[in-house]
Amino acid sequence: MEYRRVYVEVTARFSRSGGMIPLEIVWSDGRKYKIDRVTLVSHASSRLDPLLPVRYKCLIGEREKLLYFEPQKEIWFVELSA
């Protein structure tokens, strides 16, 4: 299966200890999806890039989705099947 990277805007909260928690994903057309819970944060490669972005396993409603943050470029993305 082929994947493509889609860059998204993310609203995030920063803790006093330096942690970053995504709260909402905003698509380029303005649609917003509230992240109900982050269940796992890890450094893991995406399917498209050898870099190790931070991967957030998120619950949006009852669906589990992966959201990535690339610290080198300070950008957020999701991967969608092409």
Query: Per-residue pLDDT tens for 66-76?
Result: 999 998 899 99
d(C-alpha 10, C-alpha 50), whole Å: 23
Q: What's the average model confidence in pLDDT over 8-15?
A: 96
Q: What's the average model confidence in pLDDT over 48-60?
A: 84
d(C-alpha 62, C-alpha 14), whole Å: 24
Quick one: how far is CA 39 from the chain centroid?
A: 12
Range of the domain at 49: 3-81
Query: What is the count of structural domains for the chain?
Result: 1
Q: Are 68 and 76 in contact (CB under 8 A)?
A: yes
Q: Token pair for residue 68?
A: 């990535």
Q: What is the pLDDT of residue 72?
A: 85
